[in-house]
Amino acid sequence: MAEARIKELASPAEEGKAMQEERRAIIERLKGHSGPVVALDRLGKSLDSPQIGEWLNRMVLDGRTELAFVIGGPLGLAPEVLERAEMSLSFSKMTFPHQMMRVILLEQIYRGFRIMHGEPYHK
């Protein structure tokens, strides 16, 4: 799903409208999703790679095989989206492009599964 586009010098009203459009789209996509939702948020919990591996292992052992990761736009995620999430996870206090964050998230999930299975991973 593409994040809402916000022009460079958007007014607070334009930013608010973009946040609400994104909120609606995310909540709609999560309808019917029964597994855990993880919101990527700068203010979320910071985990290192072994902790991600431990967390993924707990999810698997608990039979929670369907996860949804939510990546917000440059303004962050609406409060309603954060409330829907079981966990807020932070990779950094910096803002990354949406496409780059997808790659970073995927790499960390891959690394977490490598750790979970006791396989070597790049440190």
> Does residue 15 belong to any structural domain of this protein?
no
> Does residue 9 belong to any structural domain of this protein?
no
Domain limits for position 69 = 34-116
> Does residue 13 belong to any structural domain of this protein?
no
Number of domains in the chain: 1
Tokens encoding 97:
């492009």
Contact 41, 77 (CB under 8 A): yes
> Does residue 42 belong to any structural domain of this protein?
yes
Q: What is the CATH number of the domain that holds 85?
A: 3.40.1280.10
Residue 52 reports pLDDT greater than 60: yes
> Does residue 122 belong to any structural domain of this protein?
no
**Does the model's pTM come out above 0.75?**
yes
Tens-digit pLDDT profile for residues 11-35: 888 888 988 999 999 999 999 898 8
Q: Which residues contact 60 (CB under 8 A, 6 or more apart)?
A: 116
- DSSP secondary structure letter of residue 86: S
